Amino acid sequence: MRSGGLSLKPLTNDEVIAMPENAPLSSNQHELIRIAFERKEFDKILRQCPEYCYKSRFSLSPDKTDIGEMLNAMYYDMQIYTREALCEQLSEAIYKSMDCYEAIGSIATCILYETLSIEDKTPIFGLPLREITLLFRKAIKRFQDRLKSDKSGRGARYEDGMYESLSNRSRTVVQHGGMPFCEGT
C-alpha cells in the first residue's frame, strides 16, 4: 500500500508489500508510462521523480531515468493510447516542467528524439517543436550559470558542465534539421 491508500494491484493470501516511500511505482517501464498517463503525471517522468525512475540494465544513461528508453516505449510500445493523446500529455508535461531545473536534460532529450524521428521518417508524436524550443531557450538562459557549474551526470565530462552537454545535443538537433535550443549552436 502506497501513501494515500493507493494500491496498484490487489494483495492476495494476506500478502503485505513494504515499499520504501521513494520507490518507483513499478519496475516495468510500460506500467510506469500507463500510471503516469492515467494520472496525467508525465511531468514527473521528465523531472525524474523517484516514483517514476526507470533504467533498464542495458542503459548507459547517467541519469536516474533513461528518458530515451521511456520515449522509445511511448513511441513504439504503447498502442493502447493514441499518438495524439500521448503527444498532448507529453507536450503539457514539457510546458509544465520548463521551469524545473531537474527536467532540463529530459526536455532536451524529447526535442532531440522528436527531431531525429522526423528526419528518419519514423513515427513521431507531432510535438509543437518550434514553440517548445523557443520556450526552452528561455529556460536554459535562466539556468545557464547553474548548468555551467553542474558537473554531475552528463555534465561530468565537460568544462562547462551540463550547459556544454546541452549545447552538444542542440548541435545534433540542428544537424538533423531542428532549431537550436542553446545559444551559439
The span from the CA of 172 to the CA of 58, in Å, is: 23
**How far from 88 is each of 18, 52, 121, 136, CA to CA, in Å?**
35, 19, 20, 17
User: Is 181 among the domain residues?
Assistant: no
Domain span at residue 44 reads 3-175
Least confident among 5-9, 41-45, 161-165:
5-9
What residues contact residue 15 under an 8 Å CB cut-off, 6+ apart?
none
User: Is 185 among the domain residues?
Assistant: no
**How far from 179 is each of 83, 110, 176, CA to CA, in Å?**
23, 13, 9
Q: What is the pLDDT of residues 10-33, one digit of tens each?
A: 434 444 333 445 667 778 888 999
Please provide the average confidence, as pLDDT, over all residues in the chain: 86
DSSP sequence for 160-180: THHHHHHHHHHHHHHHTT---
Number of domains in the chain: 1
Least confident among 44-48, 55-59, 146-150, 162-166:
55-59
Q: What is the pLDDT of residues 26-83, one digit of tens each?
A: 788 889 999 999 999 999 999 999 999 999 989 888 888 999 999 988 887 777 888 8
Least confident among 7-16, 85-94, 149-158:
7-16
User: Is 68 among the domain residues?
Assistant: yes
| pLDDT band at 120; cut points 50, 70, 90 | confident
User: Is 52 among the domain residues?
Assistant: yes
User: Is 184 among the domain residues?
Assistant: no
Residue 173: other Cβ atoms inside 10 A: 25
User: Is 84 among the domain residues?
Assistant: yes
User: Is 64 among the domain residues?
Assistant: yes
CATH assignment at residue 103:
1.25.40.520
User: Is 183 among the domain residues?
Assistant: no
pLDDT attached to residue 123: 66
